[in-house]
A and B are shown apart, each in its own frame.
Chain A
Amino acid sequence: MLQSLMVLLAAELSAQIPITGKVTDTQGKGLIGANIYLEGTYDGTSSGDNGSFELLTSEVGKHVLRIEFIGFEAHKTEIDLDGVPLQIPAVTLKEAFNELNAVTISAGTFEAGDKKKSISLSPIDMVTTAGSQGDVFGALKSLPGNTTVGESGKLFIKGGHSRESKTYIDGTLVYVPYSSSSPNTSVRGRFSPFMFSGTMFSTGGYSAEYGQALSSVLALQTNTLEVQDQLNISILSVGAELGGTKTWENASLTTNLKYENLGPYMSLVPQYRNWNKKPQTLSGDLSFRLKTGKSGMLKIYANANQSRLSTFEENLNNPGSQYTYSLVNDNYFINGSWIGEIAKDWILTTAFSYTHNVDDVTVDSLQFKEQLDGTHLKTTLKHRINEKTKIIAGAELFSKRYGLEFPSPEQVEGPLAFRNNTLAGFIESEFYASSKFVTRVGVRAEYSDYLKRVSLAPRLSTAYKFNEKGQISLSYGWFFQDPEDEFLLYTPDLNYERADHYTLNYIMNGNKRVLRTELYYKDYQNLVKYERGVANEINSLSNKGYGYAYGLDLFWRDRKSIPGGEYWISYSYIDAKRDYHNYPYEAIPTFASKHNLTLVYKHWFSRLRSMVGATYRLSSPRSYNNPNSELFNNERTIPNQSLDVNWSYLHKQNVIFYFSVSNVLGFEQEFGHKYATLPDGEGVYQSAPILPGSKRFFVLGCFITLSKNGKVNQLDKIN
């Protein structure tokens, strides 16, 4: 009985009928390899040469026929099977919307991350770029828009001052992103690129999520969970570093201890600067990662850093004499963030940062302390309304105390300080009309309890993709920033400074080659103006300053033409003028070169297991002011040129040697002149040239990584 039933069943099974049809795209082209199947059964097939298919099934009754193809929207048809062959009308699949392939808002933005089609610099690019010296900011200077200001080392973007640029780590503000040094000395970023897995660098027109920056925003995403226990040892010609990582199933802890002493190096290599005590830095950091639940990630990072140095400076008010400039800098930074999906398509981020920075400066016998304590709290909620519409809203609190203190009682006034709490909120929506057209509209509001003023900043961006390769992007927005601390110290009676950005960007991206061009115009308003009094004091503070900057950025990156090699070329043209601070009239600011050119080349020699890189930079003269001249900011520096090279050699799996030289050809570099604050007996302000620390800078290093299997190395750490 049972047997005959089985036979019957088997007969039933073998009685298969065909379902036939054809799958095409919207242009009528047959799609090959689409998956066609009856839901809930094993019966399926793949489409063949011209998109046609034949599916055999023995099912009867109502079923759902599903057609899927990679990159297209799935198609469902209800069919009724009654044992007779079935012919399905041709099915047209629509291309699915995929944000990764869709147009992106590119005006002003350089973005690099794990999954992005990056045209920007990934952390590994940053460390292997010659001349960057392992510094995030050093590497960003090889992108267009930046003016090289050798006596500062900071970022000066599109005719803006470095203070107009802000740095964020995991969404929170880093109040003091640069190291401290003596006047007219190039500084570095405080954070090593190897901490980060994603970078977003915007040189204009950025999202409403970012405020308090008139020129640019650098948003860095730190690494997620580390997956391997290891110990790192680095020995450099200028110091040593020891670090370790311990991992658990859902957590990891990394610590680093670093000591830098330029003393031995500076004794060997001739220096222009006359050092009293050569720079020493001790720093330690700790980072903790914890995966919470399915999608949550908790990150905590803390860094403590102390550096000290002392130099002999020429006293230009009394030629032939000199004074000492001594600096002790203490910096603590801690930030934490949690990100997670709290419900389907709702992502919550909460983050905080705290910065404590003290510069204890002694100039000759006058001692003062400059202290900054800054807190940033931020919460954002991101919601995907549908696959084409996203909305993000957030609230932030910035709290900053800035003060100057003169410890010795007999010296000058008492402490000078102010606290500024700024409450900010923003909302922004990104809407894709199709995968070719996207618009982002946002607004940001801020209220400062010190300035007692509200700012309201609209932001608007849009992008359109012509074809696979080309896209155009436009953006417009208002940007506000508090006046400088040194002015707010004297009065809260100032307004926000303002810049309006207009950016037009065109990108052609194809097959490992990218061309990016950008035209921009920035309109500065409400800049702080003041007059210098007879004792050099600041008088008549107002927001009557104004200015503009416009220019052209060109960026070409080619990872294809030279096997084993890649290069990029950045060029920017900047025309900027402003009437602010103590300028008597509208003049070119000191931090804008008209022409800036950077060429970067890297080559991987696999037989030598070596990465070799070279970077050439050329900037046209910058202007600076000579108080002996009738005209303001009318002197010009010499053009700035440098050729930097580096070489990294993979000795063993876990041992890397590294060597780099800056300005290898020894081009003459001079960053303008500094002047006496008072005229001499003949009414002349004495001057001296501002020079780099030395003609060339050499680094020699060895990086060793110890892990259980000895395979990992510190390639990403070379600097």
Chain B
Amino acid sequence: MKKAILVFSTICITLTAMGANEKYVQKMGETLTGFNACNSIESYQALANQFRTIANAETSEWLPLYYETQCYILMSFMENSGAMAKDAWLDQAENSLEKMLELAPQESEAYALKAFYHTGRLVVNPPQRAQTTSPLIDAAIGKSLSLDPGNPRAKYMRLSNDMGTARFFGSDITPYCKDARELLEQWDSYVVQSAIHPAWGRDQVEEIVSGCGE
């Protein structure tokens, strides 16, 4: 009898634990579909709020913070009322980025996003910031690839940064186009850890490839 109770309670605990996790995964999955509908700063703000709410409820999960950060970075790109306003969104991104890095100091994706964040800071004022920010972008990409050499988002970050520089110097971009095509071909072979792990970037690489022409 005692044994039966033990077994039963073990099952119960497992069930509730599973239940909680499933609920989290389901909620995240639902919320992630929100990215498709986002087309303005306001809609990204609402989405960021949703991720923040999940992050506040699930204090040990880094993915809600990841997507909250991503929203704010994208908002900075969409902002067109000046450097101060762009930086204000990036300040928000920095907040959640730092919290995320504390929870996930060994996640390749976290550093790929960090590179994206620094890129956001850079594009606010490239002549003023290139010198201080470029090494930070490179370091974040390097860290991301050292944790997962196949991370396609880190590769995309590197590619887009290198191409930007090459364009600036008017040098040949064909080698990068080759890399971009390769990256696109391999994109789907990269196994994303779960349905709620970061999987974005394919569209952006496609854009690069189509920009290269044939």
Question: Of the candidates A39, A604, A712, which one forms a contact with B135 in the assembled complex, judged by CB atoms under 8 Å apart?
Answer: A712
B54 touches A (CB below 8 Å): yes
B195 touches A (CB below 8 Å): no
Within 8 A of B (CB), among A495-510: none
Which residues of A lie under 8 Å from residue B45 when comparing CB positions? 33, 46
Report Cα–Cα, A128/B148, bound state, in Å.
40
Question: With A40-B57, A712-B134 in contact, is A35–B49 under 8 Å at CB?
Answer: yes
B206 touches A (CB below 8 Å): no
* B1-9, B123-131, B182-190 - interface stretch: B123-131
Q: How many chain B residues touch A (Cβ–Cβ < 8 Å)? A: 30
Which residues of A lie under 8 Å from residue B53 when comparing CB positions? 35, 37, 41-44
B residues with a Cβ closer than 8 A to A are 23, 27, 42, 45-46, 49-50, 52-54, 56-57, 82-83, 88, 92, 127-128, 130-132, 134-136, 138-139, 162, 165, 168-169
Which residues of A lie under 8 Å from residue B135 when comparing CB positions? 226-228, 712
Interface string of A221-264 (1 = CB under 8 A from B): 00000111000000000000000000000000000000000000
Which residues of A lie under 8 Å from residue B92 when comparing CB positions? 70
Question: Of the candidates B42, B82, B128, which one forms a contact with A33 in the assembled complex, judged by CB atoms under 8 Å apart?
Answer: B42
Which residue from chain B places its CB closest to the CB of A49 in the assembled complex?
B42
In the assembled complex, 22 residue pairs joining A and B whose CB atoms fall closer than 8 Å, in A order, are A33-B45, A33-B49, A34-B49, A35-B52, A41-B57, A42-B23, A42-B54, A44-B49, A44-B50, A46-B49, A68-B52, A70-B92, A124-B128, A124-B131, A228-B135, A609-B168, A609-B169, A653-B169, A711-B134, A711-B162, A715-B130, A716-B131
Report Cα–Cα, A652/B171, bound state, in Å.
9
- A631 CB, min distance to chain B CBs, angstroms: 51
Which residue from chain B places its CB closest to the CB of A44 in the assembled complex?
B53
Question: Of the candidates B46, B57, B82, which one forms a contact with A42 in the assembled complex, judged by CB atoms under 8 Å apart?
Answer: B57
Within 8 A of B (CB), among A38-91: 39-46, 68, 70
A3 touches B (CB below 8 Å): no
Interface string of A684-719 (1 = CB under 8 A from B): 000000000000000000000000010111011000
Which residues of B lie under 8 Å from residue A43 when comparing CB positions? 53
Which residues of A lie under 8 Å from residue B169 when comparing CB positions? 609, 650, 652-653
A32 touches B (CB below 8 Å): yes
Report Cα–Cα, A511/B82, bound state, in Å.
8
Which residues of A lie under 8 Å from residue B134 when comparing CB positions? 711-712
Q: Are B42 and A32 interface neighbours, CB within 8 A?
A: yes
Of the candidates A197, A228, A604, the one having the most CB atoms from chain B within 10 angstroms of its own CB is A228
Which residues of A lie under 8 Å from residue B88 when comparing CB positions? 70
- B119 CB, min distance to chain A CBs, angstroms: 13
- B110 CB, min distance to chain A CBs, angstroms: 16
Which residues of B lie under 8 Å from residue A227 when comparing CB positions? 135-136, 138-139
Question: With A227-B139, A511-B82 in contact, is A33–B165 under 8 Å at CB?
Answer: no
Of the candidates A42, A512, A604, A712, the one having the most CB atoms from chain B within 10 angstroms of its own CB is A42
Report Cα–Cα, A226/B53, bound state, in Å.
36
Question: With A39-B56, A42-B54, A511-B82 in contact, is A33–B46 under 8 Å at CB?
Answer: yes
Which residues of B lie under 8 Å from residue A611 when comparing CB positions? 127
Closest 9 CB pairs of A and B: A44-B53, A35-B49, A46-B46, A33-B45, A37-B53, A227-B139, A228-B135, A46-B49, A42-B27
Report Cα–Cα, A44/B34, bound state, in Å.
14
Which residue from chain B places its CB closest to the CB of A101 in the assembled complex?
B88
- A38 CB, min distance to chain B CBs, angstroms: 8
Report Cα–Cα, A290/B53, bound state, in Å.
36
Which residues of A lie under 8 Å from residue B82 when comparing CB positions? 511
Which residues of B lie under 8 Å from residue A652 when comparing CB positions? 169
Of the candidates A35, A124, A511, the one having the most CB atoms from chain B within 10 angstroms of its own CB is A35
Which residue from chain B places its CB closest to the CB of A611 in the assembled complex?
B127
Which residues of A lie under 8 Å from residue B136 when comparing CB positions? 227
- A435 CB, min distance to chain B CBs, angstroms: 16
Which residues of B lie under 8 Å from residue A40 when comparing CB positions? 56-57
Q: How many chain A residues touch B (Cβ–Cβ < 8 Å)? A: 34
Interface string of A482-495 (1 = CB under 8 A from B): 00000000000000
Q: Are B168 and A604 interface neighbours, CB within 8 A?
A: no
Within 8 A of B (CB), among A185-242: 197, 226-228
Report Cα–Cα, A35/B50, bound state, in Å.
8
Which residues of B lie under 8 Å from residue A37 when comparing CB positions? 49, 52-53, 56
- A378 CB, min distance to chain B CBs, angstroms: 28
Question: With A33-B42, A70-B92, A715-B130 in contact, is A228–B139 under 8 Å at CB?
Answer: yes
Within 8 A of B (CB), among A636-687: 650, 652-653
Report Cα–Cα, A321/B125, bound state, in Å.
59
Given contacts A33-B45, A711-B138, A716-B132, 17 further A-B contacts (CB under 8 A): A33-B42, A33-B46, A35-B53, A37-B49, A37-B56, A40-B57, A42-B23, A42-B53, A42-B57, A44-B49, A44-B53, A45-B49, A124-B128, A227-B139, A228-B138, A512-B83, A604-B127
Report Cα–Cα, A348/B135, bound state, in Å.
29
Which residues of B lie under 8 Å from residue A709 when comparing CB positions? 138
Report Cα–Cα, A46/B134, bound state, in Å.
35
Report Cα–Cα, A542/B90, bound state, in Å.
59
Which residues of A lie under 8 Å from residue B42 when comparing CB positions? 32-33
Report Cα–Cα, A37/B50, bound state, in Å.
9
- A246 CB, min distance to chain B CBs, angstroms: 14
Which residues of A lie under 8 Å from residue B27 when comparing CB positions? 42
- A230 CB, min distance to chain B CBs, angstroms: 8
- B147 CB, min distance to chain A CBs, angstroms: 13
Report Cα–Cα, A226/B136, bound state, in Å.
9
Which residue from chain B places its CB closest to the CB of A715 in the assembled complex?
B131
Report Cα–Cα, A43/B56, bound state, in Å.
11
- B167 CB, min distance to chain A CBs, angstroms: 11
Which residues of A lie under 8 Å from residue B50 when comparing CB positions? 44, 46
Which residue from chain B places its CB closest to the CB of A245 in the assembled complex?
B135
Which residues of A lie under 8 Å from residue B49 when comparing CB positions? 33-35, 37, 44-46
Which residues of B lie under 8 Å from residue A712 when comparing CB positions? 134-135, 138
Report Cα–Cα, A35/B136, bound state, in Å.
31
Which residue from chain A places its CB closest to the CB of B53 in the assembled complex?
A44
Which residues of A lie under 8 Å from residue B168 when comparing CB positions? 609
Report Cα–Cα, A43/B135, bound state, in Å.
40
Question: With A35-B49, A124-B131 in contact, is A711–B165 under 8 Å at CB?
Answer: yes
Of the candidates B52, B53, B82, the one having the most CB atoms from chain A within 10 angstroms of its own CB is B53
Report Cα–Cα, A498/B139, bound state, in Å.
50
- A672 CB, min distance to chain B CBs, angstroms: 40
- B33 CB, min distance to chain A CBs, angstroms: 15
Of the candidates B27, B57, B139, B162, the one having the most CB atoms from chain A within 10 angstroms of its own CB is B57
Report Cα–Cα, A226/B52, bound state, in Å.
32
Report Cα–Cα, A197/B131, bound state, in Å.
12
Report Cα–Cα, A70/B72, bound state, in Å.
12
Which residues of B lie under 8 Å from residue A711 when comparing CB positions? 134, 138, 162, 165
Which residues of B lie under 8 Å from residue A512 when comparing CB positions? 83
Report Cα–Cα, A272/B200, bound state, in Å.
67
Report Cα–Cα, A604/B162, bound state, in Å.
21
Report Cα–Cα, A42/B127, bound state, in Å.
42
Report Cα–Cα, A316/B168, bound state, in Å.
59
- A93 CB, min distance to chain B CBs, angstroms: 14
- B59 CB, min distance to chain A CBs, angstroms: 10
Which residue from chain A places its CB closest to the CB of B139 in the assembled complex?
A227
Q: Are B165 and A653 interface neighbours, CB within 8 A?
A: yes
Report Cα–Cα, A56/B165, bound state, in Å.
48
